[in-house]
Amino acid sequence: MTQDNSKPVGFIGLGNMGGALAMRLLSPSLMVFDPVPECLVPFTEAGATPASIAEIAKSCDVIFACLPTSSVTEEVLFGAAGLASMMRPGQIFVDMTSGDPAMSRDQATRLAQQKILFVDAPVSGGPRGAREGTIAIIVGGDVSNYERLLPLFQKISCNIFHAGPVGAGHALKAGNNLLNLICRMASFEVVSLLVNEGVNPQRAVDILQKSSGRNYATEITLPDNILSGKMHQGFSIGLMHKDAGLALGMAQARDQDMPIGKTAFAALEKAFDLHGSDGDMSLVALDYENLTGARIRP
């Protein structure tokens, strides 16, 4: 069964990432909610319908949410006047939060007792990828639910992947972000070395991007957000700390050592202490400038 695109679709959480994702679903039948009124403005101006959580639960067969953490998802679903108390059998909740796979599996189990369906569908590629429709959507859930949601996912992006059962999407996203952190820290470290060896930072990144050391940091982070002088990627140190910490927690639960991940995470914790949870991940480059004396920014 596929989703009837004429039916209302709900979207809860219109922050930096959620807003960009929800905008890809924009239509008069899109019902949106965010506790911050300013986040609703571009949607109401573009013709979407602002609604309460209760109205979304009553009207929408498919409800997306993109929230800061699985703990916030827990509150939205099962807190006082939460969605779960108002949803009906057959509705589907799509959690696009970068969440905890263990919590997702537990939430799915409890919703299943009410015959409510749960799919985790975190994304990777940043706000730019969300705006351009190229972001990776990493889906965990039954194949039948994945197929039902596919027409809606295809409105958001051309890059959609079924990762496995419930929780697989969130597990893969956490692992991806730990790998992103490792590559980012390593790239800043190596570019700092090259600058100190007399290589122009822009030239270093251009060549690395065409070489075997290329990664997201050489492709996007360094050219778009650091070499440009913008120093803003739209992804906070706190969110990276949460996601990478989830991945290391998964490893700890399985008694798997992650020495490279732990080293990168330790560097991130220093940045957390310096710049705070709300600091942009691009600011981590400043720490390497101060540590090595290499000027990476213009």
Active-site positions read 173
- Helix, strand or coil for residue 116? coil
Q: Which residues pair with 11 in a beta bridge?
A: 32, 64
CA gap 270, 249 in Å, rounded: 19
> Half-sphere exposure of 96 toward its Cβ, with a 13 Å CA cutoff?
30
**Coil vs helix vs strand at 240:** helix
CA distances from 128 to 10, 90, 139, 209, 235 (A): 22, 33, 20, 19, 11
Report the 10 Å Cβ neighbour count for 34: 19
User: Torsion angle of alpha carbons 245, 146, 6, 50, nearest 10°?
Assistant: -10
Q: What is the DSSP string of 182-229?
A: HHHHHHHHHHHHHHHTT--HHHHHHHHHTSTT--HIIIIIIIIIITTS
DSSP state of 119: E
What are phi and psi for residue 33, nearest 5 degrees?
A: -140, 140
The residue written with tokens 């067969």 in the block is: 61
Cβ-contact 289, 189 below 8 angstroms? no
